[in-house]
Amino acid sequence: MVADVGYDSLSGRKKSGMLGRFSFPVLGLVAFALVLILFGVCTTLDGNSILKLEGENGTKRVIIPAGANPMMGSYGMMMDATAMCVMGFGFLYAFCRKYSWGGIVFNFLMCGLCFLWCQVCTCIVHVIFSGHFQKTEINLAAMISADLVTAAVLITFGVVYGFVSPCQILVICLIEPLAMKINEHIVIDFLGTSDAGGSILTHAFGAFYGVGLNLGLGIKPKYIPEENRKTNKFGDTFALVGTIVLWMFWPSFNGSLLYDDASVQHRVVVNTYLAICASCVTAMIASHLVHGGKLNILEVQNATLAGGVSIGMSCSYNVNPWVPVLIGGLAGMLSSVGYGKIAEFLENLGMMDSAGAVQLHGIPGVFGAVAAGIVVIATTNNQYFAADTVWTEMDGNTNGKQFGMILLSVLVTIAISFVVGALNGLLVRVPICEKVESHLLIDETPYFELTQGIVYKADPVSQDDGPEERMELMAGKV
């Protein structure tokens, strides 16, 4: 009998790539080698981290006081933003019954690779737009920036959750951060639009990149096994933990990069806090109304966070407290009501957003930008931010022009993210990458070794053994 060369007996699935089950380790080693080499070429330590010596013989170490480095004040916020990426998104993606390990583990993998690769991308983008080479200084600001970029990639993963193999994930992690940094430079430096919390630069970009990626992959919802789309109470509980982690740390996420201006950073934290509290309330009210007097757990997990997304662009604006409450409240309702409608719309177009990232990040992100534009039109004192400085009439700008720049930034972000995402989707279909077979969509079984766990079991006590139980370490299947 002739063996089926297209069948992998170890993983129990069809080989869909040139390297079969070895595509991930081979491409992973290549990707890591690329990151390592370019890290040596493109990065350097921050000046405050380099050892400095003084004295006649250069033997006395220079001690830099903690207060001399204002960035260290944002260390807590940086760790909050990192926890959002690793824990918040990770647990949030544990909702699916047959992909809970995949959601957490692949999210973890993407964090590790993107945190490093983003530093290289910063150097590359600087060369592209400035024409001269300058190494990226590794410091807290660079690490925080990497968190914001990584969050966009994790949002994209939510759209194609369960549709991509580990090998394809590596390719996505190498392309999307570079595209996002290019878009960020265009929006901030060319269009003069501030987006401190990333309403469009992080959230909308990641969501619409995922939509384009989905289109490029060619995944059709009708081919996804119905059994694989189910959740269970255990997974949904884990996802709720992720929701709470994200909800608690969101003010740090929005304000972490503004370490050099305490008043603005404080305003960002307060405005974000108000907005995300409002969306928590209105999302549940809307869900209760839409679903006949009961809460939909998917909407509780996601729509309650919409306020943090929508306030991202205007969180640095000098506005009255009721403004972020209104923006966050409307975003929570919009996201909650839109969950079923948008998911149905995408499926009618032949696409599927597995984790509802478009409803949580895409639509609220665009809504937040439009809301920020309305605030710009309505303001009379011009005390809001364009790029990283206070925008006033003296800059040769007008309220109407700034509003137009915000809308143009939205269109540019959607266009770049969708087009590059679609091209990325086509690229990961090349034979070298292992693809996910249709019957294994949203199924982690091919990627994990389901080993026997170790449990403690109390043996029955015999008369000869005495009154104490003996605990024996035994293997038990989990």
Tokens 């974000």 map to which residue? 272
Beta bridge partners of 14: 7
The one-letter amino acid at 339 = Y
DSSP line for 370-392:
HHHHHHHHH-SS--EEETTEEE-
113 confidence band (pLDDT: 50, 70, 90): very high
The pLDDT tens digits of the residues spanning 297-323 come to: 999 999 999 999 999 999 988 888 999
Distance CA 91, CA 317 (A): 32
The pLDDT tens digits of the residues spanning 115-130 come to: 999 999 999 999 999 9
Q: Hey, what domains does the chain have and what are their CATH numbers?
A: 15-47+80-437 (1.10.3430.10)
User: Lowest mean pLDDT: which of 2-6, 117-121, 287-291, 300-304?
Assistant: 2-6
Distance CA 155, CA 144 (A): 17
- 4 has pLDDT over 70: no
**Angle of CA points 41, 42, 46, to nearest 5°:** 115
- 467 has pLDDT over 70: no
The one-letter amino acid at 310 = S
- 391 has pLDDT over 90: no
DSSP state of 186: I
The CA-atom distances, in angstroms, between 414 and each of 203, 312, 385, 409, 418 are 11, 17, 22, 9, 6
The confidence score (pLDDT) of residue 295 equals: 94
The one-letter amino acid at 103 = G
The one-letter amino acid at 72 = M
Q: What are phi and psi of 457, to 5 degrees?
A: -135, 130
Residue 427 is encoded by which pair of tokens?
């690229």
- For residue 143, the Cα-to-chain-centroid distance in whole angstroms is 14
- 454 has pLDDT over 70: no
427 confidence band (pLDDT: 50, 70, 90): very high
CB 238 within 8 A of CB 95: yes
472 confidence band (pLDDT: 50, 70, 90): very low
**Helix, strand, or coil here: 208?**
helix
Distance CA 112, CA 137 (A): 19
Distance CA 255, CA 82 (A): 13
User: Lowest mean pLDDT: which of 93-102, 260-269, 352-361?
Assistant: 260-269
Task: Calculate mean pLDDT across residues 354-363.
Answer: 92
Task: Calculate mean pLDDT across residues 292-297.
Answer: 92
Neighbours of 322 (CB within 10 A): 11
The rounded radius of gyration (Å) of the Cα atoms in the chain is: 25
CB 176 within 8 A of CB 201: no
**Helix, strand, or coil here: 312?**
coil
Task: Calculate mean pLDDT across residues 232-251.
Answer: 94
Task: Calculate mean pLDDT across residues 221-250.
Answer: 91
- 197 has pLDDT over 60: yes
The confidence score (pLDDT) of residue 474 equals: 37
DSSP state of 44: E
The one-letter amino acid at 95 = F
205-232 as b/e: b if 16+ CB within 10 A: bbbbbbbbbbbbbebebeebeeebbebe
Q: Percent of the chain at pLDDT above 70? A: 82
**Helix, strand, or coil here: 443?**
coil
Distance CA 452, CA 475 (A): 7
Residue 84 is encoded by which pair of tokens?
């959002």
Average pLDDT, the chain: 84
The confidence score (pLDDT) of residue 471 equals: 40
**Angle of CA points 134, 85, 232, to nearest 5°:** 155
Distance CA 395, CA 346 (A): 42
Distance CA 102, CA 442 (A): 9
Closest among 104, 78, 83 to 244, alpha carbons compared: 83
The confidence score (pLDDT) of residue 384 equals: 53
**Helix, strand, or coil here: 465?**
helix
Tokens 């660079």 map to which residue? 142
The pLDDT tens digits of the residues spanning 62-81 come to: 777 666 666 777 788 899 99
Distance CA 88, CA 240 (A): 9
